[in-house]
Copies of this chain bind each other. A is one copy, B any other.
Amino acid sequence: MPVLLEPDRAPALSELLKAIPGGLVQRVVQGSGDFVDPPIAGLGALTSAGPSEISFIVHAKYLPQMSQTRACAVIVLPEIDEQLAASDPVPAYARVVCKHPYLLYARLAQWFDWARQPARLAAIHPTAIVDPTAQVAPSASIGAYTVVGARSRIGAMTQIGAGTVIGADVEIGVSSNIHARVTIYDNVRIGARALILSGAVLGADGFGFAPDPSIAKGAWGRIPQFGGVLIGNDVEIGANTTVDRGALEDTVLEDGVKLDNQIMIGHNCRIGAHTAAAACVGVAGSTTVGARCTLGGAAMLSGHLVIGDDVHISGGTAVTYNISTPGRYTGVFPSTEHAEWQRNAAVVSQLSTLRKRLRALERG
């Protein structure tokens, strides 16, 4: 476990909980141990948290781990708290009773993440090359060897990491965090509170070609891509993820979109608000995905599709048609021991024949 705060900076449990917005905590129950409003230096998993850390349990199946925890406080569901209160002896740790323990854990983690940050001086590193026409908010910071192009605007409190290259006419909103070695092409606009991880490439040219036999038989002529990328507020984009610029219009990521690593969003796509995609997902060009969707890891969406709101695509699934009804959709060949797969896969290429034979039998 990382010790997140030095002991002299660790807040008492009651203070810590007061700092968390949302009225999530129902009550705090004193345990049988010495932990009277203990100082909390960090968070930890049940099995590895130390005595100055708070832990959490999100499911009753982890109850056996609770008897071993050294944490001084544990976030618990009301029904788990009742079980623990009835146990003999009562656990040593304080119980923080809460209907949404995972959300409370997230909020506590956000608080510690904020509290552990060293005070950053707003500064443009002397090696950063910022075009004289760019506007960088006085409270923003820009890392070493970063390049910012003409007329680009960097919002207040936004941090840009080392080695990042930002083109011309880029806008980045307030309180955003662009990590090291990101590329942002010209005409990309990003809202507030963005988080962009290293290696991400935003606004590279979309993959557009017209067959051009005048070059050679079968040759392709490039279609320049004039659109931009428009990214809403609270969007997070993972490491080495790529979002291409549109051909004529913008590629759009709406508010709250979360993209994991190594995702590819093609040109002219629109990804709806609060949609989350796990790693290695690909969305081909001109596809629209609705709000509050989830795309499992390595899911692949064909181009020019329309996927509605609240659609959940399982990992590894290829989607080749429009989906308008909310729900979960899947298409994965089940994996098995190899020899068994061989036997069954051999039948796959005879399925149509098999169906005919079955019909023939049915007709007698």
- Point out residues on A near B: beta carbons under 8 Å: 1-2, 4, 21-22, 42-45, 48, 100, 102-103, 105-107, 109-110, 112-113, 127, 129, 143-145, 147, 161-163, 165, 179-181, 183, 185, 187, 195, 197-199, 201, 204-205, 207, 209-212, 214-224, 226-228, 234, 236, 238-240, 242, 244, 248-249, 255-256, 258, 260-262, 264, 266, 273-274, 276, 278-280, 282, 284, 291-292, 297-298, 300, 302-303, 310, 313-320, 325, 327-338, 340-352, 354-355, 357-358, 361-362
Contacts and interface: CB of A to CB of B under 8 A. Distances in A.
A284 B349 CA distance: 24
Nearest to A275: B218
Most buried by B among A163, A198, A226: A198
Contacts of A310: 218
Contact of A183 (B180, B220, B330, B332): B180
Contacts of A313: 335
A257 B357 CA distance: 45
A224 B342 CA distance: 35
B332 A255 contact: no
Q: What is the count of identical protomers in the complex? A: 3
Contacts of A1: 226, 248-249
A297 B280 contact: no
B210 A105 contact: yes
Contact of A234 (B180, B215, B292, B336): B215
A103 B214 CA distance: 10
Contacts of A220: 256, 258, 274, 276
Interface of A is mostly: loop
Contacts of A195: 205, 222
Among A209, A273, A280, A335, residue most surrounded by chain B Cβ atoms (within 10 Å): A335
A282 B256 contact: no
11 contacts: A103-B221, A147-B180, A183-B198, A197-B201, A216-B256, A218-B274, A220-B276, A280-B300, A330-B345, A344-B348, A361-B362
Given A197-B205, A199-B240, A329-B337, 11 more contacts: A102-B210, A113-B226, A147-B162, A207-B261, A216-B273, A240-B242, A318-B335, A320-B335, A330-B338, A334-B346, A346-B352
Q: Residue among A103, A165, A215 with the most chain B CB within 10 A?
A: A165
Contacts of A147: 143-145, 162-163, 180
Given A256-B215, A332-B333, A335-B330, A201 B199 contact: yes
Nearest to A316: B318
A331 B351 CA distance: 14
B264 A261 contact: yes
Contacts of A282: 262, 279-280, 297-298
